[in-house]
Amino acid sequence: MNWNLERDLEDVFAQTTAIWPQLRGARIFLTGGTGFIGCWLLESARYANDKLDLDLHITILTRSASAFAAKAPHLAGYPAFTFVEGDVANFASPEGSFTHVIHAATDASADLNENDPRKMFDTVVSGTRRALDLAVEKAASRVLFLSSGAVYGLQPWDVTHVREDWTGAPDCTNPRNAYAEGKRAAEMLCAIYGKQFGLEIVNARIFALLGPYISLGIHFAAGNFIRDAMDGRPIVVKGNGMPCRSYLYASDLTVWLWHMLVRGDAGKSYNTGSDETISIRDLAERVATVIGNGEFTILGAEDKGWNHGRYVPDTGLAKAELGLERTVSLDEAIRRTASWNGWKPAR
């Protein structure tokens, strides 16, 4: 690993200076804390806790504490972090009280969504309900739910940037939309718990991401492209390369999430992503140019992915209400992600 994560954490800290005093003495319960996004939340919390002596404590739900200890021993052994093992849908309530709950646990596996959509749907919905029940039980003051831009379904080509008030939706007759419909149902649960139990809940609708800790071997195109370019192979786009995406770097994501937890308007959903549109074809060329040998191929096969159109948010609400903006360019996000995974630029 070549990229120095401390530089990212310094940036996160600088952009969240006003947030941390409001989390002094906080007791946070975090699901999904050992995944990509969870690791960033833990890294940034550890950094701020050490800088400001916040007396911040986080209890992290995990399926395997030992597996996470092997992955990130510096986080697993941090004194202010406690790990409890359990399944997100039916975990036992930990002892003690919690001021905040962050529900970040979701298996966004394309394989699971394709081959066991019932489990995918149940994991999203049941896990969210269990996290919300815990928040009610512990009288948590704030809840942050990590939702997804998938709740909008297929974004029409003429909608270049989808807003939070857009009323489109996934096709609920297609089982391939189990993840997306699960997130929609989970957001409805959040609205119900807000009304019925008075929970202050903010939803972050997350779009595509890049950064350290992200897996390069699963179904996300950007990660696959970076992996192939690092290995010296030409990047191959099996489809026609026309689908459009955008990519938010993990340090920006982390800044946004902490602000939403503390300052977001309860009951609202905020698009969380980059508004810089790029086609898959142009992404392949960009990755090949930035870290590879410049070689890429478009095979032009029929695109059978879950979203063969646009997947790009309008982030105006997060900017207007919370002052949040993207600060890391796509090229830099590609370089840092590759560097974290061992890539070294040619001299």
Neighbours of 177 (CB within 10 A): 24
Burial class (CB in 10 A: 0-12, 13-18, 19+), 143: buried
Q: What is the pLDDT along the chain (347 residues), one digit of tens a residue?
A: 567 899 999 999 999 999 999 999 999 999 999 999 999 999 999 999 999 999 999 999 999 999 999 999 999 999 999 999 999 999 999 999 999 999 999 765 666 767 889 999 999 999 999 999 999 999 999 999 999 999 999 999 999 999 999 989 999 999 999 999 999 999 999 999 999 999 999 999 999 999 999 999 877 889 999 999 999 999 999 889 999 999 999 999 999 999 999 999 999 999 999 999 999 999 999 999 999 999 999 998 877 665 668 999 999 999 999 999 999 999 999 999 999 999 988 76
Per the structure block, which two tokens stand in for 41? 């939340």
Identify the CA nearest to 202 among candidates 110, 127, 117, 101.
101
CATH class assigned to 5-210+248-275+314-328: alpha beta
Cα distance between residue 347 and residue 332, in whole Å: 17
SS3 43: helix
Give the residue extent of every domain in the chain.
5-210+248-275+314-328
Identify the CA nearest to 143 among candidates 203, 197, 184, 222.
203
Cα distance between residue 190 and residue 207, in whole Å: 19
Contact 28, 99 (CB under 8 A): yes
